[in-house]
Structure 1
Amino acid sequence: MSVTHTPARGASAPAAEGAAEHGRLHPSWGGGFESLRRQDPEIAGLLLAETERQATGLQLVAAENFTSPAVLATLGSPLTNKYAEGYPGARHHGGCELVDLTERIAAERAKALFGAEHANVQPNSGTAAVLAAYAALLHPGDTVLAMSLRHGGHLTHGSPANFSGRWYDFAAYGLDEDTGLIDYAEVRALARDRMPRAIVCGSMSYPRHPDYAAFREIADEVGAYLVVDAAHPIGLVAGGAAPSPVPYADVVCATTHKVLRGPRGGLILCGARLAERLDRAVFPFTQGGAQMHTVAAKAVAFGEAAAPAFTAYAHQVVANARALAAALAGEGLLIGTGGTDTHLITADAAPLALDGATARGRLAAAGMVLDTCGLAGGSARGLRLGTAAVTTQGMGEAEMARIGALMGAALRGDRREGEVRVEVAELAGRFPPYRSHM
């Protein structure tokens, strides 16, 4: 999917006007953009500039993707006007009959897609989903076992800057420094020693499939809840390209963007036994009225993910990640865990005499956007990248080989930065994220 767009090199009114005159705006914007262009050309210009940035570079941030035009159109729908505190059939505002149907559809589609007994589609983010899970299962001061922040744990896994680290007593398990893999013997030993109320399985930068059965066994041994933070792999699970945590976890928290390719938002899956506790933890405990335009867009995304084309997409995402990891290894980078099972790759640029921040800066200057992350050793930062967005654009293994070569050239500096950027723009231009005109 892609859309031809007019390049916008600034946030100026002329940029917005020129694009509008040529009819090259995103199809979901429609007449709404015309109104914005007239009323607020400064913001209109910024929207166009961001459209150009996304379409002329390589978006390799592991947590990002391109939604479908249908999802974008739903996000800009009149549902954004509706206040809907509460749940279907029990709202605190009138006029919710249609949004009740919308939320029920979203929840039913999520349950069917993931084989869950209960789904809450209201969380505004993955963080909000995890907050609700903790609120439902824990009391302040309870002990929680989660992955070390240095090795890829999320802020909600015990960061002192986050509610999790302030309200709960976190113990951290890490990765084996030689293999970069989870040491399940360490997880079990820590669980026996600390006797946590909950164990969290999940990471921002773990490129392998966790052993959910092993985590379930450890949790049962110490009488802990198992919370799976599946923000990254949930889209692969939907497409059958990753094992599902649903049969093993007490609660699964996830995002609806990333590989799942829906709107930015959160999702909670659980069994019927915990359904009421989780629902109350979302509303009224941690959130107010649901954002119904986002809930509807989640429903659209769940419907799309249930189609055979999404299964093919999810498997291609993994094939592309493996191809890109191999290409980067050929360019001299050290690949975390020796490869990947998912959309996500971690890499160390130290063999090229570069730290993570410097490497990321060189790649960004060449039009390739990605992140840094902690490495298994814990003393340095590496690169974290993913293939969800470029796969949505239609790229395959051949393009991954070229991206790897372009990244190598940018990192080594053996070609002028501008030359690499021109090639990046040429490659991205052949695979625009949205293809239809207004």
Structure 2
Amino acid sequence: MRINHNISALNTYRQLSINNMMAAKSLEKLSSGLRINRAGDDAAGLAISEKMRAQIRGLEMASKNAQDAISLIQTAEGALNETHSILQRMRELAVQSASDTNTAVDRSEIQKEIDQLAQELARIGNTTEFNTQKLLNGTFKGTFHIGANENQNLSLEIKDMRGFALGVVGDVTYTATGTVTNTNSSFSDGTYTVKYDSASGKYQLVDSNGLVIATSADGKTYTATADATSTDKIVFSDKVISGTITIDTTSNEATGTATVDNKRLEAGTYTLDAANKKLIDSTGQVIGTSTDGTKYVDAAGNELFTLGAAPTENITLEVKGIDVSSASSANNAITTINKAIETVSAERSKLGAYQNRLEHTINNLGTAAENLTAAESRIRDVDMAKEMMEFTKLNILQQAATAMLAQANMQPQMVLQLLGR
């Protein structure tokens, strides 16, 4: 018998310490609900679980991304619904104007509504946004990340749905001043109407009596018809092919509505700052610049229009809606607007298809996240019933070890009996 080292007590204490440590771990698992609270609990299981957690959170965020993408598509598609309504009304007006029961004044009033509708198409295209991103002006090219891992995405491009892209806006017009050569007194002061003669293929300048006083092949130079050898003419820098021309023989000047090809401008009214060579829209925003005063380009370098000569003072430019000012032009407008309606229909159909696809994507992401969560739970979460059994066992072992430690501590007192004899 030894008193310096109580081996039984040491052994019992060691077992009690182990029981205490195991009971503490079991209690931690029961209180947290997790089987793995630290890497030491299951190093491999922890690594697998964290990888699964990354996938689960990625899938959940991808589902949110897909929902946001649907919201974006719905915003664009809702705006295109109104675009469709505008085009249908424009077509209705074109059909009305194509009938010769209308007078020139009637068609002029119809044209006014067409012009306003064309401007509204531009406004819708320029202002429809989602999270400050413009959707319908042809600049949106988005990529939606709809997966938990890299490169799991979906790309969407929305075409330009404004009036110019749809072909329902006219040319650029402005009030131009031309020079008058009146050596033979072929022209008199007054206002004359510009008409197109399909038989001769020339533009005619007609007075109030219906008499043709000048003709032009290109709309820029009108030559007097009073005398076959006459050199009297009116010269504009750009085509004047519609409206009226006013002649002032005192100053040898004529004014008319000049027309230049519209390359990209939407319907509306613009101011050309001749001194600074800038094109300003109705909101005061600079949308075009020029180096020579004739060719104007946008910020991306795309040509907007080109004038025949640089103006010396500020002028007002106007872009109207599709021309319905005559029966023939209105008839042509019907076909053009039909194509525009088909274009918008195709874009809306595409957006609808994307939306349906994304709804299926969300369903799939939800299913994948659920299954991965179940798998991660089996690895990371504790089985409460089983762990409670383990904790109860360890609790009993703790009590037993404590009792046995008390007994082991009593053994050295037996030595006193030997010393007493």
Q: What range is the shorter-chain TM-score in?
A: under 0.3
Structure 1 length-normalised TM: 0.24
Structure 2 length-normalised TM: 0.25
When Rg is computed on C-alpha atoms for both structures, the one with the higher figure is 2
